[in-house]
Amino acid sequence: MGKTGSSPTSLSFNINFTAPVDYTWETIPAAQSGAGTISTTNVVISWLPSGAKIRLKLKSNNLRYFSVYPLSSDRNKLLFVEQWGDAPWTSMVQSFQYAENLQIISTDIPDLSHVQSMSRMFKGCTNLNSPTNINQWKVDSVWDMTGVFMDAASFNQPLDDWNTTNVYVMEEMFSGAISFNQPIHTWNTSLVKSMSRMFCNASSFNQPIGNWDTWNVEIMTGMFKNALSFNQPIDNWNTQNLVDISEMFYGASSFNQPINSWNIGNVGFMNNLFMHAIAFNQPLNNWNTSSVMEMEGVFNGATSFNQPLNNWNTAQVQDFTAMFHRAESFNQNINTWNMSKARKLNAMFCDATAFNQPISNWNVSSVFDMESMFQGAKAFNQPLELWNTGKVLFLHKMFSGAEAFNQPIHTWNTTNVVNMDSMFQGAVVFNQPIGNWNTSGVKRMHAMFKNNSVFNQNISAWDTKSVEDFSEMFSGAVAFNQPIGTWNTEKAKYMNGMFENASNFNQPIGTWNTGKVEYFSSMFSGSVSFNQAIGTWHTASATQMQSMFQHASSFNQPLYAWNFSEVNSMDNMFSGAKAFNQFIGSWKLTDGVSMLGMLDSSGLDCSMFTSALIAWSKDSSYPKFINLGARGLRYRPNAASARNQLLENLKWTITGDTMQTLPCCIMNYQAQETTSCPPFVIAKDTMLSSGRYFVHLTNSNGCDSILRVDRRFNLSSMIFLFEENIERG
């Protein structure tokens, strides 16, 4: 029985037959009817009543196969199978696949005596929990049961009477059948070759199947993957012919049964075998792993596992990727493992927070990938200086977050390394000399020492000619203050955040080649000690300078020669840079550049800000619609018109600044100078771009004088009086 859809109405399905098949149809309730003959395998019965339920009867004597798949438009119209008839079916492959509304209410059973494959017969029949007599079906001839009930989320009928003597393939049979939990221990599995993903995602299944004959089974890949309830003894299984047990217990969060007696001598692949099997903690040291080539993720996320594995034969293993990743309890001695063929050790002990065993004997001469190997391995602190790293390409994140590691590794051969990103990020006690490393091939050093609070080794000799990314390299490296001014930065594109919050760094780096650098954002943000000349840097390629000197409270170097032609963001560039007081009026800006908060709470004094406003207003090439942050800055009345021109003509928005009525206090007073109005208070010392110096003097009697002088004076020879009258300019 099925239902038609909207007009025009039809039913579509596929059949196989030995001769044309007669059919009749009628509406339910009875009102209209029709008949016809089918002589093609791709059937379309048209001009049925719109929106009606249709009972379709196919004369079964010539019928051999029926399927509504892959006819996506009609398969969900199938509601019921009311009768199988006496058709001698020859196949049930995908017969009802994805018929989500299907129920089987027949009281008879199909003739399956000639059926060899039931592959995916009920796959995706999400509402099917019938027929109630399915246990009586005669499946003696069937050899392929691949995915029969795959994703049949509601199905939970007894099947223990099925005769599975001739079945070779049971892979995915109950995969995704989240309700199924019926006893099937009586099944004969003696011929089965593959049980791959048989109970994958069968989250309710927890029946005893330990008596199954698995002698012929070669593949158990993902067999109990995410079978959340399964925890039955299976130690008696004959596993001597197994070749692949990858992901077998992946996510089987309840499983914790002894399987140490298994013979896995022929197994070549055990990737992710116990991944996220959070309860598993059984001995496995008797396993013969001599044929295993891949151990990727075997105990990844197996948070309870902590059993000896020193007897394992790893001579053929090439891939150890993430083997103990997040194996939070594991801390066993595996120093005797044969690693001669190992090529990948990336993330092997990542977040293995308990592991701290010697592994210095490992032969890692063939390894090319050590990315994240000890990332987050908070307890690990074992010698590694004997390792031969000559073929290693990837060291990024290797010791990131390895909070205890502080071993000498200066002997490492880093000739072929291309990536050192975050290698020691958060390695809070690492402070070993590595200045002799060959870094000539390294292209990335992003965040290499980020938040490493103790590292302060001389790395001035590093060859950085290939490095493209220095971003965040010393961000938060509060101890680092080594000379690196000779580094070759000709290929660098990223320097954003390089010294962010590197509070001790103050080394000359003014000769760096920054011609290709595009990203300078936050480079010295929070770098409170830095005050080196970098005014000759080539910035023609720069696009991002936001927060570059934000809160760099010591920085006060001229930058008038910088090229800002491509810069599109200068937001907060000098925000909180309280010492910065340089002329910036000569800068050429690009259209659309953002200056939000750029000068907020910076050290730019009245004179400098005044001169900048005037210079900007006189340059007709300056871009429109700039939003300039200048909180706390002041300008002289003679800049008011210039400021208004920027607001009105160029549509600028300038926020946070105020006009000062008194003269800007710009001084460089010569000690020998005298005035007729003593005593005076010196206000502020600043040099104008012209090279001339002025001093604004005032006393409590209101005597006010601005003197031009051409020579600097010694502040120690001056007498400061009337501090309450100091004009802060």
CA angle 546-400-329, nearest 5°? Answer: 140
pLDDT(514) > 80:
yes
CA–CA separation, 475 and 105 (whole Å): 69
Q: For residue 695, what pLDDT is reported?
A: 44
Q: What is the mean pLDDT of residues 434-442?
A: 99
Same-domain status, 703 and 657: no
| Confidence at residue 323, expressed as pLDDT on a 0 to 100 scale | 99
pLDDT of 346 above 50: yes
Compute how many other C-beta atoms are within 10 angstroms of the C-beta atom of residue 413.
15
Asked if the structure places residue 707 within a domain, the reply is yes
Residues, the chain: 729
At residue 71 the predicted structure's pLDDT band, cuts being 50, 70 and 90, is low
Q: Please tell me the distance from the alpha carbon of residue 566 to that of residue 593, in angstroms, as a whole number.
A: 9
- C-alpha span between 278 and 301 (Å, rounded): 7
Q: Which sign does the torsion angle of CA 86, 87, 88, 89 carry?
A: negative
The answer to whether the CB of 184 falls within 8 A of the CB of 174 is no
Q: Is the pLDDT of residue 93 over 70?
A: yes
The Cα 299–Cα 250 span in angstroms is 9
Q: Which amino acid is at 577?
A: A
Cβ neighbours around 46 below 10 Å, total: 10
Q: Which three-class secondary structure state does DSSP give residue 77?
A: helix
Compute the distance between CA of residue 664 and CA of residue 289 in angstroms, rounded to an integer: 82
Q: What is the CA radius of gyration of the chain?
A: 39
Share of the chain above pLDDT 90, in %: 85
- 235-270: b (≥16 Cβ within 10 Å) or e: eebebebbebbbbbbbbbbbbbbebeebebbbbbbb
Looking at residues 710-717, what average pLDDT do you find?
37
Q: What is the mean pLDDT of the chain?
A: 91
588 with 634, same domain? yes
Do the beta carbons of residue 443 and residue 470 sit within 8 Å?
A: no
Q: What pLDDT score does 691 carry?
A: 39
Same domain, 19 and 51: yes
Domain that holds residue 719: 664-729
Q: Who contacts 691 (Cβ-Cβ below 8 Å, separation ≥6)?
A: none
Burial category of 39 from C-beta neighbours within 10 Å (exposed 0-12, middle 13-18, buried 19 and up): exposed
Residue 319 belongs to a domain: no
Q: Which two tokens stand for residue 124?
A: 């995706």
Whether residue 308 is preceded by a cis peptide bond, meaning omega within 30 degrees of 0, is no
Query: How many angstroms separate the CA atoms of 515 and 563, rounded?
Result: 10
Same domain, yes or no: 707 and 679 = yes
The arithmetic mean of pLDDT across residues 209-224, rounded, is 99
Q: How confident is the model at residue 722 (pLDDT cuts 50, 70, 90)?
A: very low
Q: What is the mean pLDDT of residues 22-44?
A: 93
Tens of pLDDT, residue by residue over 633-685, are 999 999 999 999 999 999 999 999 999 987 775 443 333 333 444 444 443 33
pLDDT score recorded for residue 72? 62
Q: Is 30 exposed, middle or buried (0-12, 13-18, 19+ CB in 10 A)?
A: exposed
634 lies in the same domain as 722:
no
Instruction: Check whether residue 638 and residue 685 sit in a common domain.
Output: no
644: Cβ–Cβ under 8 A, 6 or more apart, which residues?
Answer: none
Q: Please, are residues 498 and 471 in contact by the beta-carbon 8 Å criterion?
A: yes
Asked whether residue 630 falls in the same domain as residue 674, the answer is no
> Quick one: pLDDT at residue 4?
54
Contact 6, 45 (CB under 8 A): no
Which of 631, 661, 691 is at the close of a domain? 661
pLDDT tens, residue by residue, 187-198? 999 999 999 999
Which of the residue ranges 19-28, 47-56, 479-488 would you say has the lowest mean pLDDT?
47-56
Between strands 53-58 and 42-46, the pairing is: unpaired
What is the predicted pLDDT for the residue at 662? 78
Residue 602 included in any domain = yes
| Residue 214 belongs to some domain of the structure | no
Query: pLDDT value at position 711?
Result: 37
532 and 653 fall within a common domain: yes
Cβ 637 vs Cβ 663: under 8 Å = no
**Pair 541, 654 in one domain:** yes
Find tokens 């870094």 and name the residue.
439
pLDDT at 50: 86
Distance CA 70, CA 75 (A): 8
Total-model pTM: 0.86
Six-digit token string for 108: 């008879």
Of the candidate ranges 288-292, 419-423, 715-719, the one whose mean pLDDT is the lowest: 715-719
Please, which pLDDT band fits residue 699 given cuts at 50, 70 and 90? very low
pLDDT of the residue at 3: 61
554 vs 159, 513, 562, CA distance in Å? 79, 23, 20
For residues 483-494, give the mean pLDDT. Answer: 99
For residue 65, pLDDT over 70 is answered with yes
End position of a domain, from candidates 661, 687, 720: 661
Query: If pLDDT is split at 50, 70 and 90, which confidence band does 717 have?
Result: very low
Mean per-residue pLDDT, 66-73: 79
Report the alpha-carbon distance of residue 271 to residue 168 in Å, rounded: 24
Query: 12 burial class (0-12, 13-18, 19+ CB within 10 angstroms)?
Result: middle
pLDDT at 704 over 80: no
**499 burial level (CB within 10 Å; 0-12, 13-18, 19+):** buried
Q: H/E element holding 14?
A: strand 10-17
Which of 26, 45, 78 represents a domain boundary (last residue)? 78
Residues 549 and 683 in one domain: no
Q: If you average pLDDT over residues 311-317, what whole number do you get?
A: 98
pLDDT, tens only, 259-295: 999 999 999 999 999 999 999 999 999 999 999 999 9
* 316 lies in some domain: no
Question: Is the residue at 575 inside a domain?
Answer: yes
Q: Is the pLDDT of residue 620 over 60?
A: yes
3-state secondary structure 637-657: HHHHHHHHHHHHCCCCEEECC
Looking at the structure, tell me whether residues 541 and 653 fall in a common domain: yes
Q: What are phi and psi of 60, to 5 degrees?
A: -90, -10
What sign does the CA torsion over 657, 662, 663, 665 have? Answer: negative
Count of the separate structural domains present in the chain: 3
Tokens of 507: 């080394």
Residue 649, C-beta contacts closer than 8 angstroms, at least 6 positions apart: none
Q: Contact 270/294 with Cβ under 8 angstroms?
A: yes
Residue 31's pLDDT is 82
Please enumerate in sequence order all residues whose Cβ is within 8 A of that of 702, keeping only pairs 6 or more positions apart, or say none: none
Residue 608 lies in a domain: yes
Are the C-beta atoms of 686 and 666 separated by less than 8 Å? yes
160 domain-assigned: no
pLDDT of residue 10: 85
Statement: residue 252 has pLDDT above 70 = yes
The answer on pLDDT for 9 being more than 90 is: no
What burial class does residue 188 get, using C-beta atoms within 10 Å of its C-beta: 0-12 exposed, 13-18 middle, 19+ buried? middle
**Quick one: 538 and 558 in the same domain?**
yes
Give the percent of the chain with pLDDT over 70.
90
What's the first-to-final CA gap in the chain, in angstroms?
Answer: 91
Please state, in angstroms and rounded to a whole number, the distance separating the CA atoms of residues 326 and 276. Answer: 9
DSSP state string for 84-98: -TT-B----TTTTTT
> Which tens digits make up the pLDDT trace of 372-390?
999 999 999 999 999 999 9
